[in-house]
Structure formats: structure tokens, C-alpha cells
Amino acid sequence: MAIRTENLKMTGKLVVVAFGMFAFGYALIPIYKHVCEALGINILAVSERQVPGNSRAAANSQVDTSRTITVEFDANVRGPWEFKPAQASIQVHPGQLATVMYEFQNVQNRKMSAQAIPSYAPRNAAPHFNKLECFCFNQYALEPGEKKQWPVAFVIDPKIPKDVTTITLSYTFFEVGGKMPAAPQS
């Protein structure tokens, strides 16, 4: 009987310890926020605070609103499929995030794998054209007749030379692993 009493006491102690550990883990988030806020070492805690008199979020200070750059979109294909940008051009400020969709359709009667290769004009704009998301990063397999839309999300670096007012982003879409069609004759 003494062993059973000892086991019940030990079980009770273990339940209390487990509950205490759970409560401590649950309380760590608010404790962490308060400690970091008091010490000024957590940027996230600062941005979550409501600033008196400020009803909207702070604007992106990286955007150069004094300049506007026209970005033109071009699509070339090396094979029997359809590939085009959803819009011909947009105007963006350097530092502003922009997204454009490209449309692709496999008009063949067979499955195909393809990939796009980008190019830029003028050439000195290329180092300043930062793609955050692009279908050109991967190869894609499309079934016969399958139609897809893919985004290109980009930011133009505000340090781009002042004389660049228009950038052309051109993609050449070609088949990967299949029979490559001959180059067009001039």
C-alpha cells in the first residue's frame, strides 16, 4: 500500500511539473515581447506598436517617387506554342515592387518541357533589375493544350543610372529535352 501511495504522489508531482512547463512555454511569447520592447532590441515589437496620430502604415522609404521608369515586356518563342505578356508595359518608380503575368499555352498534341531565358535592354539596366519571383527560375512540363499564367515580381534598384528611363525585359521560351526547331531564316 505504501508503494501505491508513493506512486500516486509521484504521478501528482509529474502532472504539476508538466502543467508548469506548459504554462511557462505558453507565457514565453508575451514575456519575450515585453523584455525585447523594454530593451529596444526587437524590431518586430516596435512595428507592432500603435504610434499616436499615425493611422496608416509607414510608406516604403526605398521608393524613389521622383523618377518613373517604363518597363516594356517582350516574349519570343522557339517552337510551336503561344507565349506572351499579359500587358505590354508598365510604369514603376525605382524601389517599387511590381508584378506582371506571362501567359503560356502548349498548342502541341504532346507533353513538353520548357524554360524561359531573360534578357534586358539597355544592358546596363540588368544589374539593377531584381526579380523576386520569376517563371524563368524553373523548367515546366505542360500537357497538350494546357494553358498557364506565371508571375514575374521585380524591383528596380533606386541606384539605377538616371539616364535609364525605359527597360525592356525580354524572354525567349524554348523546349528543354525535346527536338529543337531550326532557327528562323532571315
**Per-block mean pLDDT, blocks of 10 residues, the chain (186 long):** 88 93 84 75 49 48 84 85 89 92 88 86 88 85 88 90 90 74 53
Question: How many domains in the chain?
Answer: 2
In a domain, 181, yes or no: no
In a domain, 184, yes or no: no
Q: Are residue 105 and residue 152 in the same domain, yes or no?
A: yes
Domain coverage including residue 93: 69-175
28-68 confidence digits (pLDDT tens): 888 877 777 777 675 544 444 444 444 444 555 678 888 99
- Helix, strand, coil percent content, the chain, rounded in steps of 5: 30, 35, 35
Q: How far is CA 119 from CA 48, 52, 173, in A?
A: 41, 47, 11
In a domain, 137, yes or no: yes
Distance CA 62, CA 92 (A): 13
Q: Are residue 103 and residue 167 in the same domain, yes or no?
A: yes
